[in-house]
Each structure stands twice: as structure tokens, then as C-alpha cells.
Amino acid sequence: MATVTPVSSKVDLSTSSVRALNAELHEPAAEAYEVLHPQGAHAIAAGVHHPVTVDIRGHAGYYCAGMNDGGTITVHGSAGTGVAENMMSGTVRVHGDASQSAGATGHGGLLVVSGSASMRCGISMKGIDIVVGGDIGPMSAFMAQAGRLVVCGDAGDALGDSIYEARIYVRGKVNSLGADCVEKPMRAEHLSELAGLLGAAGLDHDPADFRRYGSARKLYHFAAHNSDSY
């Protein structure tokens, strides 16, 4: 008789461990998981590499959904440092706020933060798409190499410092731009791209309300006359 994969499974972290949960998610026996009583535990749903759905019913600690590669992971609360860090593919949603370094070094997939994100959001992003419904803190998109960062609120100081080819869209105020980051024109292709990202995040803002930022391409190679900018 063939084995039938259960549709969903519940894991209660008040009686089980994160280690046991993650071991299950690495070789899932169900299509979807509901994680109860996370209580800010760290590294929940880290290293998922299957197209499994995970709903975390509460706040998560550090590095939730880190290295996600194909999972659909939702935090029904806020998340600590490094949510979706080094994500490869899939979707991570945080229905609250995110602490610093959200989506850091992400190579792909979509991270959506319904609230605000702290400093260094999208630092060294390498292809991930990040949509933040609120504000972001300073030094966000530092050394961002590829991908798109959408901010529906305000951005802190030194946005896009030393940015490469990532694109940044901001609806609100930018406190200051980092080295080699400049405002760029919003052309039709950017409005279309932004509309798609907002739609994927479930937001209905008008793309025309955003401004685009990217690299001035002056710091790609060291030059003595640019030394004061490094």
C-alpha cells in the first residue's frame, strides 16, 4: 500500500525543540506545517530546501527562515535579526516588524515585511527581492549587488552605500544616500517592475509615488581621485 503524505502537521515548540522541527522540515513528512508557541526561539525553519509551507504562529527570534530554498514561510508576528538571511528561493513573509539585517546576502526569492525593518535591511543582497510595508533603518542595501528593495515608508541614513546593481524604490523620505548611491529616473519599465513587486507583496500603492535609487558606478574600480568617497 502506498504511503499517503499528510496535508498538514502541527509542531508545538513549548513541548518540542527547534532542532527537532528543523530536522522534520529538512525531510518533510507533510506538505504544510503550523508552528505553535515559537516564543521568540532562534533559527526556526532554517535551511528549508523543499516546497513546504510553514506558518509560525507568533514571534520568531534570530535567523528565522535563514537559507530558505523553496519554502513558503510566514511569521505571524515579528522577527529578530537576520530573517531570511542568505535566502535562495521561495517566499518569506513577516506580518510584524523585522530586526536588523533582514534578507542579508539573499540570492533569490521574495521577503515581505508588513511592518518596518531595522538597520542594514538587504545588506549585501545578491538577487533577493525585499518589500517593506513601513520604514527601514540606516545602512540598508549596503553593498547590495543585485535584486530589488522596495520601501513603502521612509529610509534611514546612508541608503545604498557602495551599492552595485541592485535597485531601490522608496515611497517616503530618504534621510541620506550612501557613497555612490544616487536617485535615478523612473521609466516605464521600472514602474512595471515595481507594480509587479507590490502586487506580489499584496500591496496596492501607486508605483508613481516611488522614487528609484541605484549606483552612480563611480566606485566599481579604485581610483585615487575618488579616495575620499571610500
Which whole number is the average pLDDT over 211-226?
81
pLDDT in tens, 92-150: 999 999 999 999 999 999 999 999 999 999 999 999 999 999 999 999 999 999 999 99
Please state the φ and ψ torsions of residue 21, each to the nearest 5 degrees: -60, -50
In this predicted structure, what is the pLDDT of residue 218?
86
pLDDT in tens, 72-95: 999 999 999 999 999 999 999 999
Which whole number is the average pLDDT over 218-224?
71
Q: Looking at per-residue confidence, does 109 or 8 come out higher?
A: 109
Q: CB–CB of 59/77 below 8 Å?
A: yes
Instruction: Decide if pLDDT at 3 tops 60.
Output: no
For residues 47-64, b (16+ Cβ closer than 10 Å) or e, as one string?
Answer: bbbeebbbbbbbbbbbbb
In this predicted structure, what is the pLDDT of residue 1?
44
What pTM was estimated for this model as a whole? 0.93
In this predicted structure, what is the pLDDT of residue 2?
46
